[in-house]
Every structure is written in structure tokens, then in C-alpha cells.
A and B are shown apart, each in its own frame.
Chain A
Amino acid sequence: MDHRPQAWGRPRDDVYGAYDASYLQSGGPKTATQSPIVTGTSVIAIKFKDGVVMAADNLASYGSLARFTDVKRLRPFLSTSVVGFGGDVSDMQFLTRHLNELAIDEAYEHESSPTSSSEDDPNAPPAGQLNAANLHKYLSKLMYRRRNDFDPLWNQILVAGFDSASAPFLASVDLRGTTFTSPSLATGFGAMLAQPIMRRYAATEADAARLTREEAVKVVKECMKVLFYRDARSLDRYSIAVVTKDGVELSEDEQLERQSWAFAERIKGYGTQTV
């Protein structure tokens, strides 16, 4: 018998033959993320006159397997901004924890300054506290840094909230550190399916500034429905967040309403069909 600790708890070689560990010892260099593993699909968001609406479904897929069905992909930050994550879920968790630390640091920073932020605007966030534009800049630097290290965080992220001029803010950053803004934004499949619908309502900033909250929520919900119909990696349970000057209203367990699958009856040619 082999009594050395290296052999403890392993099948006996004299009975089962040597364990073939060759596939574990890749022998290659250290590897960073080369592809996402557990993934979230689209995040969509649209600006309206008083803020931003963002939505993402609650699914985390493992390839084509619907692996986790209650995953919350929208995260509020300091109750003034919302961050929505598409892409790798573990990287999302890393970022969430990182943002958590950042938020606690913010609490340290701003306790020494007077609480009242601005005399004329009681709804303005505490002076100097990170707003959505600052947060987006921070995240984009973080993502770009990681891509420069060839160790990317495999996400596309939407950040919603307000900028320094207290105007609604919506911007994106992806795994390469590419950033952009638009009156409406969508990641992943949403860029193909939802973005054209949202652009019908908010093609320009001026259009978005005329949109009411109810209209914006309706458009987003409609887009989530379209995505559920056509994106195979999507779910009918989703989270929706509305950011206004009053804060973040986040609902994490919405159900797609008024679905119509009538069109499905006309689809023929897949699997066993009798007629």
C-alpha cells in the first residue's frame, strides 16, 4: 500500500490503474478568462424625461442550458444609479462586490461633509458623491485596464442614473473598455431586437426628453416580450429598474404579461408533426 499523503483518498492504483491526470495538467501557461461560462443575455435601457428605465431578465445560462432562473442582473449603486450586467455572471459578481466596497468607501468619504447637499434642490444627491456618469467612467477605466492586462471582465454593462448637470444619464461599457451613450441602449441580442423598437420612441435626446415614465416602461416591457419570443437564452421573468431623482425603484420579480404565442401554431417543420 502506498501510505504517502499524496495518495490519500484516491482510488488505489493497483486496483483501478493510475489516475490519468494528463487532461488536468494542461501544461500550458496560466490562463485568464478566455470565454464566458455562465452568462446573462440582453440588458436594455431607455431614457425618459425624468430618468432612465432599465430591464434584464433573471436567467443565467450555461451554454444552452437555462442554469439559474432567479439571477438578479440589475444592481443599484448608492440608490442613485443602476448598473445592468450582460455576459459572464462570475465577473458580474466580482464587479458587484467591488462596487459594494466602493459604495462603503463613499459612505466614509461623505460623512465628514454636511448632510445637506444643496439648498435649492433637496433632491440632488449629496454633493461630491459618485453619480452615474462618474460611476460609468470608473467602470470603463476598470474594464479597459483589465483588457490591457489580457484578463478581461467578460461583460457588457449599462449604467443609468444622472450626470453632474442632473440630466438623465445612460451609457455602456464592454469587455474591451469601449464606451458609448445613446438615448436608448441594449446589450447582446437586445442590440438587434430591442434597440430598433426603442429607437422608434427615442431616436434622439430630444425625443427621450419628451417621453413619459409610463411610456418608457411600456416600451421596455414590450421589448422584453420581443426578446423572450426570439432570444432562445431568455426568460419571461425579469427585473426592471426606474431611476429618477427620487432614487431607484427596482422590481426583481416581474412576469411578462399578455404573451401571444398564436404565431407558433403556424410554424411547421420542427420535430414530429402529425398534420
Chain B
Amino acid sequence: MTSIGTGYDLANSIFSPDGRNFQVEYAVKAVENGGTSIGIRCKDGVVLAVEKIVTSKLLKPGANKRIATVDRHLGVVYSGMIPDGRHFIDRARDEARSWRDTFKTPISTADLASRMGGYMQAYTLYQSVRPFGITAIVGGFDSTEEAPVDGEVGSGPACGAGGKVAGKTHGGPFLYMIEPSGLYWGYYGAATGKGRQAAKAELEKLDLGGPGGPTLTLEQAVKEAARIIYVAHDDSKDKEFELEMTWISGADGPTKGCIGRERLSVGEKALDEDEDEEEGKEEKMEE
């Protein structure tokens, strides 16, 4: 590695003769050491999950959450360097807030991904900065209701010209993954971090991208996400981990369009009683 990069890996904004930015590639390495994060976009929602490695018994179980709320309908999980992720989330919150200030409406998942992709890309351009050592998964549910304007008081014209197109639908569950280079794609299912290979293999087995859209329900996706994190976990390297999950549905679903309304983190001991835990979650979702 060192021999290839010699001279060209010391700073951003310097390409190697064969067109690579080594700083970005090193940042990807940092991500590959982080705990596995996954996201699943299903029929009626999005699930985010992360394998939170317990680095010390002195850490309070369930504290130091890794999945963050960015706006009511948006959540972010990431693998890699946690401080970088924290800054990423701060910025995402600022973007969501400024979008609301400008347009009086929530930012769409796609727009947030675009803004954040651009932000991360900017960190690959200058000598004075290093790229983000994270890959972030952005999940959200854009409202399918009439476009809600913050602070609106009426419902607009009931008939006649009002800019409404009958039968037109919009919004829905969306999932994006943003890499240290600033590259981002929309995904049916996304995985990053240590166990990404195993996780991707599992995700590919799910019915997420059929022609009629995914058939997997949120309920099933929550179970699958939990399972995949366990599958992707490497027992030989890291003993203890916590599974942290969150999910979001539309306004008619269990979370009523708000992320983080139901969030849980399951300790490692839950591994044995995996099935029971799942039952418990299902009940919670029915509420």
C-alpha cells in the first residue's frame, strides 16, 4: 500500500498519476474498520440498524446512541469514525433546518442526500482538510400526504385551480448511502462497515427491488435487519455488541411518519432469546 501511494497520499487535492485520490481511499479503510451499519427500504418504511461494538464494560448499556434523528422524517446511521459522524449529523441537521426556513416544508430524503453528498465531496478537494472517515446511510420517509407547509393554516381550494393533480402520488420511503468520496446512490438495501460483505449477501436475498417495488413489510424488515446484524457480526473478533435499530413508516404506519418514535437497543444477551425479542417488537409496532 505504502509503495503505491508514495508521494501522492499526503494530501487531498493531489491525484496520483493513475487518477486516484489516496486520502479518500484511506478514509474508506477507516470505514471498513467500523461496526456494521445497514439500511433496508421496504414497502411501507425504512429500517436502520447498527452493530455497536461494546469497547468497554464501563460504558453504560443503551447509552451513546449511534442512530441520529435529523428531522422528523429523517434518520442517519454511519460506520467509521464516530466524531466525523457526529459532525456529519450536525451538518445534516443544519441543512434540514435551513431547508425548512427557506421552503417552509421538510427536506426530502433525496435532497438531504444530495446536500450531504456535496458536503462530503468538498472535503476531498482541499489541502487543508481530510475526507470524512465515515460512510453514512440516510433513511427517511417523505410524506405522501398533501405537501405540508410549516405553519400553514388552511387546506387550500377544495376544487378548481389549486395546483393539485388528482391521483398523483409522491413521497414514500427512501434510502441513500454516502461514501467518503461524496459519492451517493439511492439503495434498496445498504450495508457498510466491517460486516458489509456478509450483510450485503443477506440483503440481496431479500425481495427489495422487484418491478412492483419491494414486497417486504416494515415488520419483516425490522426482523431481517436484526438478523442481518447478528449474521454480520464476527464473534471471533468482537465479543460484545449492542444492536441499535430504528425504523420509520408513513403517517398511517406505526411510527406515524416520525423517526425515532420507537427505537430500541438490544443487548448481546438477547442473542439466545432472539425470537422472543422479535415478538416483543412486533407487539410494540402494533400499538
Does A108 touch B at the CB level, under 8 Å? yes
Does B260 touch A at the CB level, under 8 Å? yes
Interface size, A (range): 20 to 34
Residues of A within 8 A of B64 (CB): 112
**Chain B nearest Cβ from A268, distance in angstroms:** 37
Does B100 touch A at the CB level, under 8 Å? yes
- Contact between chains at A108 and B151 (CB < 8 Å): no
Q: Mark A82-110, 1 if CB is under 8 A from B, else 0.
A: 00000001001110110011011001100
- Contact between chains at B263 and A111 (CB < 8 Å): yes
- Contact between chains at A111 and B69 (CB < 8 Å): yes
- Contact between chains at A71 and B153 (CB < 8 Å): yes
Residues of A within 8 A of B200 (CB): none
Q: Closest residue to A73 on the B side, CB-wise?
A: B153
**Chain B nearest Cβ from A68, distance in angstroms:** 5
Q: Closest residue to B61 on the A side, CB-wise?
A: A114
B67, B153, B154 interface centre (most CB from chain A within 10 Å): B153
**Chain B nearest Cβ from A76, distance in angstroms:** 12
- Contact between chains at A97 and B150 (CB < 8 Å): yes
CA distance A111 to B72 in the complex (A): 12
CA distance A111 to B244 in the complex (A): 12
- Contact between chains at A93 and B151 (CB < 8 Å): yes
Residues of A within 8 A of B152 (CB): 93
- Contact between chains at A71 and B151 (CB < 8 Å): no
- Contact between chains at B263 and A97 (CB < 8 Å): no
**Chain B nearest Cβ from A33, distance in angstroms:** 16
Does B264 touch A at the CB level, under 8 Å? yes
CA distance A72 to B156 in the complex (A): 12
- Contact between chains at A107 and B72 (CB < 8 Å): yes
Interface of B is mostly: loop
Does B104 touch A at the CB level, under 8 Å? yes
Select B154's contact among A70, A96, A101, A108, beta carbons within 8 Å. A70
- Contact between chains at A107 and B260 (CB < 8 Å): yes
Does A31 touch B at the CB level, under 8 Å? no
Select B100's contact among A71, A93, A100, beta carbons within 8 Å. A100
- Contact between chains at B69 and A114 (CB < 8 Å): no
Q: Closest residue to A97 on the B side, CB-wise?
A: B151
Residues of B within 8 A of A89 (CB): 153
Does A115 touch B at the CB level, under 8 Å? yes
- Contact between chains at B71 and A104 (CB < 8 Å): yes
Residues of B within 8 A of A103 (CB): 72
CA distance A73 to B151 in the complex (A): 10
- Contact between chains at A72 and B153 (CB < 8 Å): yes
- Contact between chains at A114 and B63 (CB < 8 Å): yes
- Contact between chains at A112 and B150 (CB < 8 Å): no
- Contact between chains at B263 and A115 (CB < 8 Å): yes
- Contact between chains at A96 and B63 (CB < 8 Å): no
Does A159 touch B at the CB level, under 8 Å? no
Does B62 touch A at the CB level, under 8 Å? yes
Given the contacts A100-B100, A108-B93, A115-B263, A71 and B72 also touching, CB distance less than 8 Å: no
- Contact between chains at B68 and A111 (CB < 8 Å): yes
Select B151's contact among A70, A94, A114, beta carbons within 8 Å. A94
Given the contacts A68-B153, A114-B63, A115-B263, A101 and B69 also touching, CB distance less than 8 Å: no
Q: Closest residue to B96 on the A side, CB-wise?
A: A104
Complex interface residues of chain B between 246 and 261 (CB less than 8 A to chain A): 258, 260
Does B97 touch A at the CB level, under 8 Å? yes
Given the contacts A100-B100, A115-B264, A92 and B72 also touching, CB distance less than 8 Å: no
* Smallest CB-CB A-B distances: 8 pairs: A93-B151, A71-B153, A97-B151, A96-B151, A70-B154, A107-B69, A97-B150, A70-B155
Query: What 16 new A-B contacts, CB under 8 Å, besides A68-B154, A100-B100?
Result: A72-B153, A92-B153, A97-B100, A100-B150, A101-B100, A107-B69, A107-B72, A107-B258, A108-B93, A111-B68, A111-B260, A112-B63, A112-B64, A114-B63, A115-B263, A115-B264
Q: Which residues of B contact A (CB under 8 A)?
A: 62-65, 67-69, 71-72, 93, 96-97, 100, 104, 150-155, 258, 260, 262-264
What are 28 A-B pairs with beta-carbon distances under 8 A? A60-B153, A68-B154, A70-B154, A70-B155, A71-B153, A71-B154, A72-B154, A92-B151, A92-B153, A93-B151, A93-B152, A93-B153, A97-B104, A97-B150, A97-B151, A101-B100, A104-B72, A107-B72, A107-B258, A108-B68, A108-B93, A111-B65, A111-B67, A111-B68, A111-B263, A112-B64, A115-B262, A115-B264
Q: Which residues of A contact B (CB under 8 A)?
A: 60, 68, 70-73, 89, 92-94, 96-97, 100-101, 103-104, 107-108, 111-112, 114-115
